[in-house]
Amino acid sequence: MKPKLVVTVLTVFLLIYSATVTADYVRPPPRKTLHFPWSSRPSPSPQQVHISLAGDKHIRVSWITDDKSSPSIVEYGTSPGNYSETSDGESTTYSYLLYTSGKIHHTVIGPLEPSTIYFYRCGGQGPEFQLKTPPLQLPVTFAVAGDLGQTGWTKSTLSHIDKCKYDLHLLPGDLSYADYIQHRWDTFGELVQPLASARPWMVTEGNHEKESIPLFKDGFESYNSRWKMPFQESGSSSNLYYSFEVAGAHIIMLGSYAEYYEYSDQYNWLKADLAKVDRKKTRWLIVLFHVPWYNSNEAHQFEGDAMMASMEPLLYAARVDIVLAGHVHAYERTERVNNGKSDPCGAVHVTIGDGGNKEGLARKYKDPPPEWSAFREASFGHGELKIVNSSHAYWSWHRNDDDEPVKSDETWITSLISSGCIANELGS
């Protein structure tokens, strides 16, 4: 061949080749569960430190020690090494087959100032941690990722969340994927500690938290012992559902695995909790639970239907703005929906069960998509929800593309109250 022709053929080949490569981006496969060296630390040292909101101006610090005599005290203050305050808390342990947990400490500190950095130490010794309290008023930013697990992808997702400026982490279920192997709860606690000790992590349960054994274990024992959430503070009788306020927004964490039928405890609690929200003052109402109600992925079809039939009328009447769910290992965002179809006064539903767990992605979608589906993609990643003011929130979803966070979906959401959707009185 003549040199000129060779060059032309090569160029054409390269053009076609690069076109096919960009068009068919091959999504990387699931990554293996990480392995951690375990039980190498001195026993009184605090491990698995994480924090959560615990009522107005208060934060619960949770950690574990191998040493059963270690006290449940937290010393804290606003300058490093200078602890002007001390709180004492409670502790628990649990056994699961051959495993016995360390001493699990839960200590509430406060009252704390908003938007303030506090330095703290657990059990009277060990390293100093720092946390930042959420703001008193809007704006507020939430990081959102469900179905985390503890794989290479989890690590990637956590490092991307760490790079964003956020006030609070919201997790719609499936934390450790310990799946009965109890020490994996401990390794998960260590994996998330750098983030979860610095910003409140507000979680609700998924199916992987259950770990029940018929006639022997009821379920949620490890989860409830380790991830105590402010259910008592919000008038709930179960750690599986609760609510909290942050920066003037009301967030409700429901339980897909607690009874949800009409007149069940959870249903009655939800109704009472919604009735307490003054929508004149509280412009944003957000709900999280594990199993999505609006899902056009082939995975987990219909699983959320019974809960939706029971509870969606309550959420709709109260004008819930945004619903965040997990369970399906992919991302999907809907238009405003209610009762199975688009509705200008319904909630925007987001499925974000793609934190990076070991089970991999749910790639198959229903075709054609339902009219309410606005965006869907099977990739690992995380979401960021910034509530800017009483009328506007900015939502973005960041896909883990070859370990880089790439913003793939973004939208402005206007609050229902500011859009003229007036909340209905809930009958008592």
Ligand X SMILES: *[C@@H]1O[C@H](CO)[C@@H](O)[C@H](O)[C@H]1NC(C)=O
- Contact set with ligand X (CB under 6 A): 77-79, 82, 84, 388-389, 391-392
- Residue 29 DSSP code: P
Token readout for 410 is 């973004």
Minimum distance between the CB of residue 243 and ligand X, rounded to whole angstroms? 25
- Strand positions, DSSP E, 292-330: 322-325
Nearer to ligand X, 20 or 84 (CB): 84
**300 is an active site residue:** yes
Nearer to ligand X, 69 or 84 (CB): 84
Residue 244 to residue 210: CA distance in whole angstroms: 23
Residue 144, strand partner residues: 170, 383
* Cβ-based neighbours of 174, under 8 Å, separated by 6 or more: 146, 147, 148, 149, 206, 207, 208, 209, 290, 326, 327, 353, 355, 357
Residue 281 to residue 284: CA distance in whole angstroms: 9
Cis, peptide link before residue 111, omega less than 30° from 0: yes
Candidates 28, 4, 13; CA nearest to 361 is 28
- Displacement of CA 294 from its chain's centroid (Å): 18
Token readout for 194 is 């750098």
Minimum distance between the CB of residue 385 and ligand X, rounded to whole angstroms? 14
Residue 209 to residue 195: CA distance in whole angstroms: 20
Minimum distance between the CB of residue 395 and ligand X, rounded to whole angstroms? 13
Q: Residue 170: how many CB atoms within 10 A of its CB? A: 24
Nearer to ligand X, 210 or 392 (CB): 392
Nearer to ligand X, 195 or 388 (CB): 388
Candidates 291, 233, 241, 235; CA nearest to 266 is 241
Where do the H-state alpha helices sit in 260-304?
265-276
Nearer to ligand X, 82 or 130 (CB): 82
Nearer to ligand X, 87 or 236 (CB): 87
Tell how strand 331-338 and strand 373-377 pair up. Answer: antiparallel
Minimum distance between the CB of residue 391 and ligand X, rounded to whole angstroms? 5
Minimum distance between the CB of residue 80 and ligand X, rounded to whole angstroms? 9
Tell me which of 105, 208, 290, 300 is the catalytic residue. 300
Burial of 368 (0-12, 13-18, 19+ CB in 10 A): exposed
Nearer to ligand X, 352 or 387 (CB): 387
Nearer to ligand X, 2 or 280 (CB): 280
Minimum distance between the CB of residue 281 and ligand X, rounded to whole angstroms? 15
Candidates 415, 331, 417; CA nearest to 374 is 331
Residue 255 to residue 23: CA distance in whole angstroms: 40
Minimum distance between the CB of residue 423 and ligand X, rounded to whole angstroms? 20
Burial of 400 (0-12, 13-18, 19+ CB in 10 A): buried
Cα-based torsion angle of the residue sequence 324, 327, 329, 333 in order, rounded to the nearest 10 degrees: -30
Minimum distance between the CB of residue 410 and ligand X, rounded to whole angstroms? 13
As annotated, the active-site residues are: 300
